[in-house]
A = this chain, B = another copy of it.
Amino acid sequence: MPPSPTPRPRPERTDPTPPRAVVGRMSHYLRTLQAELADGRATINSSRLGRLLGFSDSQVRRDFRAFGLAGRPGVGYECADLVDRIRKAMGIGRSWPVALVGCGNLGQALLGYGGFAREGFEIRAAFDRSPRLVGRDIRGIRVEDFGHFAESVRRNRIRLALLAVPAAEAEQTALEIARAGVSGILNFAPVRLNLPAAVSVTHVDLAIELEQLAFAVVRHQKRG
């Protein structure tokens, strides 16, 4: 049993960074608050908001405090105010021009997906390499040749890209996207991308979602 001196590095908690788990829930609060506003409710309390999302009331209050959001005792939180502040804190809400790269089936579905607009994400330009698609008009967007990508990024001040190309092309295409100065890529190809640290990548892997669902189903039936 060595007594182990333990130098105590003193972590010194003054962390201004909101905990990762909180960030993950913020988008959900935002969406629910917008729905409440649309239903004509001006305020909401932590226990209702929690119930709608499956969180506890104290968790809601803690999360909001972590983002510096305050409510009024006896009343609750003001929906409209909260929506504004969350948007601001998350850096969204203003217009975010987005580029779509890859206009096959999935890409075309993304062009038609209504959900993006809500938070100001707007697909401004669409690209493909196939001569079959280049020049076509899909839902009001003209498909451009991917060769023009870098120029279009500058012209449209594009910072985010949706990557919906076949797996085999994903890595190479992502590199070119990164080189054009885009700072975030939402990747739909079932391939892990190795990119310079300057660009953030989020992976949407539908097979993994299905696996998790299948596991939940199996467990659900074994137990309760």
| Residue ranges of A at the interface with B (Cβ–Cβ < 8 Å) | 17, 23-24, 26-28, 30-32, 35, 52-53, 90-92, 96, 98, 104-106, 108-116, 118-119, 121, 159-160, 167, 183-186, 190, 192, 197-198, 200, 202, 204-221, 224
Complex copy number for this chain: 2
Nearest B residue to A197 by beta-carbon distance?
B224
Nearest neighbor of A54 in chain B, beta-carbon distance: B192
CA distance A106 to B30 in the complex (A): 24
Name A's interface SS. helix
A136 → chain B closest CB, angstroms: 15
Is A200 in contact with B184, judged by CB distance below 8 angstroms? no
Cβ B92 vs Cβ A208 within 8 A: no
Contacting pair A31 B208 (CB below 8 A): yes
9 A-B residue pairs with CB within 8 Å: A31-B208, A90-B211, A92-B215, A106-B113, A110-B206, A184-B214, A184-B216, A186-B209, A197-B224
Picked from B27, B30, B118, B200, the residue with its CB within 8 Å of the CB of A217 is B200
In the complex, are the beta carbons of B115 and A105 less than 8 A apart?
no
A119 to B221, CA, bound (A): 20
Contact call B218/A91, Cβ cutoff below 8 A: yes
Other A-B pairs beyond A106-B113, A200-B213, 4, CB < 8 Å = A90-B215, A90-B218, A105-B108, A160-B210
Give the chain B neighbours of A30 by CB distance below 8 A: 211
Chain B residues with CB under 8 Å of A26's CB are 215
Q: With A52-B192, A200-B220 known to touch, is A211 a contact of B27 (CB < 8 Å)?
A: yes
Asked if A202 contacts B216 (CB within 8 A), the reply is yes
Whether the Cβ atoms of B92 and A220 lie closer than 8 Å is: no
Contact A121 B218 (CB under 8 A): no
- A112 to B23 Cα, complex, angstroms: 33
